[in-house]
């Protein structure tokens, strides 16, 4: 007798890109059999991330359901910063900037308490503020960049310098803006990450055309 092939193999049951009623039922059936709050929170967070990357309103809402469940039922310290970061992504995708901002601030608070669990939320937060733009939050954006900046990869350094360039230019600080714009363009042009065994990891693949053009103009 031929064995039945499951809808999702064992190694990807929490990495679904679809969330049909069957997907949801199968996921929660497997989740109920998982042991411990940490594992349940981790599986739910990874599944939420996989859904939000598909970029649909339905997926954002489904991801928020999972993330809210983590906070209500399996509130694990190690999961808090990424959970709040994913919530910010979902709210942005749904067009709710105010809730996204609140979620970013919850990330920062979690990172202050649990220092071993860092994210790139400070960069996403600053990018949103600099490109929207939201001048009333410029000081806050620069403050969290200074607090959490850890630019290991060219793409991180590119975004941090771009944020500084845009904000400083908006404030009329032309020379400082020019310096950061040039630094950002240098990072965008990098073809090696500097890591011996991962030479192309973390390079700038999509600099964002409108921002990139603004940086070129500022760098002159």
Same domain, 41 and 100: yes
Same domain, 84 and 151: no
Q: Is the pLDDT score of 72 beyond 70? A: yes
Residue 209 counted as domain residue? yes
Residue 135 counted as domain residue? no
Same domain, 113 and 173: no
Residue 137 counted as domain residue? no
Segment 186-197 shows an average pLDDT of 88
pLDDT in tens, 153-173: 999 999 999 999 999 999 999
Same domain, 106 and 164: no
Residue 3 counted as domain residue? no
Please count the structural domains in the chain: 2
Using alpha carbons only, give the angle 182, 164, 106 rounded to the nearest 5 degrees: 145
Q: How far is CA 98 from the centre of its chain?
A: 17
Residue 26 counted as domain residue? no
pLDDT of 209 reads 92
CA distance 106 to 121: 10
Residue 44 counted as domain residue? yes
HSE of 120, CA atoms in CB hemisphere, 13 A: 15
- Whether this prediction's pTM lies above 0.85 is answered by yes
Using alpha carbons only, give the angle 205, 44, 111 rounded to the nearest 5 degrees: 65
Same domain, 217 and 154: yes
pLDDT of 76 reads 82
Residue 5 counted as domain residue? no
Q: How far is CA 184 from the centre of its chain?
A: 20
Q: How far is CA 44 from the centre of its chain?
A: 16
Same domain, 67 and 113: yes
Burial classification of residue 60, based on how many CB atoms lie within 10 Å of its CB (0-12 exposed, 13-18 middle, 19 or more buried): buried
Burial classification of residue 3, based on how many CB atoms lie within 10 Å of its CB (0-12 exposed, 13-18 middle, 19 or more buried): exposed
CA distance 77 to 69: 15
Residue 182 counted as domain residue? yes
Domain that holds residue 214: 146-220
Any idea what the CATH number is for the domain that residue 46 is in? 1.25.40
């Amino acid at each position: 007798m031929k064995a039945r092939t499951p809808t999702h193999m064992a190694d990807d049951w929490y990495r679904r890109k679809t969330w049909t009623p069957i997907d949801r039922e199968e996921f929660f059936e497997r989740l109920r059999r998982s042991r411990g709050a940490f594992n349940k929170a981790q599986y739910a967070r990874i599944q939420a991330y996989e859904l939000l990357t598909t970029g649909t309103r339905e997926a954002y809402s489904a991801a928020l359901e999972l993330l809210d469940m983590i906070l209500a039922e399996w509130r694990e310290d190690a999961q808090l910063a990424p959970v709040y970061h994913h919530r910010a992504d979902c709210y942005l995708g749904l067009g709710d900037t105010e809730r996204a901002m609140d979620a970013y601030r919850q990330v920062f608070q979690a990172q202050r308490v649990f220092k071993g669990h860092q994210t790139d939320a400070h960069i996403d937060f600053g990018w949103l503020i600099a490109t929207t733009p939201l001048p009333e939050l410029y000081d806050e954006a620069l403050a969290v960049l200074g607090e959490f900046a850890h630019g290991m990869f060219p793409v991180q350094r590119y975004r941090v310098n771009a944020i500084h360039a845009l904000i400083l230019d908006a404030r009329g600080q032309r020379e400082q803006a020019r310096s950061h714009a040039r630094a950002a363009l240098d990072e965008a042009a990098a073809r090696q990450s500097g890591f011996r065994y991962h030479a192309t990891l973390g390079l700038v693949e999509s600099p964002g055309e409108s921002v990139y053009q603004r940086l070129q103009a500022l760098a002159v």
